[in-house]
Amino acid sequence: MKVKFKLYASLRRGRGTVEVEFKGKTLRDALRELFKIYPDLSEIVERDRVKEFYKIFVNGRDVEHLEGLDTELKEGDEIAIFPPIAGGLNR
């Protein structure tokens, strides 16, 4: 199966959009393949779940409201990953 990862902010550096072909049917399977290509991205998952403050969306839906890493994927799904972001002015 082939899916498309869109990486944002600090995760994007030199990568942007990455198509990944993998065996399996879950987000966990797709991430495992992505981490083979970019091992530094494995920081996204901790103790078998998405690390706090990272956000992963499958076709625009937050996986926290789906099945987390066990969310089932379909051919051509689009997975967006956002790192923790902070900022703003304290006035």
- Which residues, 6+ apart, have CB-to-CB distance to 44 below 8 Å? 31, 50, 51, 54, 56, 81
Q: Quick check: is 46 in a domain?
A: yes
- Which residues, 6+ apart, have CB-to-CB distance to 78 below 8 Å? 3, 4, 6, 58, 59, 60
Q: Is 12 in a helix, a strand, or coil?
A: coil
Number of domains within the chain: 1
pLDDT the model gives residue 86: 77
Residues 69/35, Cβ–Cβ less than 8 Å: no
Closest among 64, 83, 87, 74 to 12, alpha carbons compared? 83
Average pLDDT for 33-52: 94
pTM for this one?
0.89
| Residue-wise pLDDT tens digits, 77-87 | 999 999 998 77
| Residue-wise pLDDT tens digits, 58-78 | 999 999 999 999 999 999 999
* Token couple for 68: 């987390």
CATH code, domain carrying 6: 3.10.20.30
The whole domain housing 36 covers: 2-82
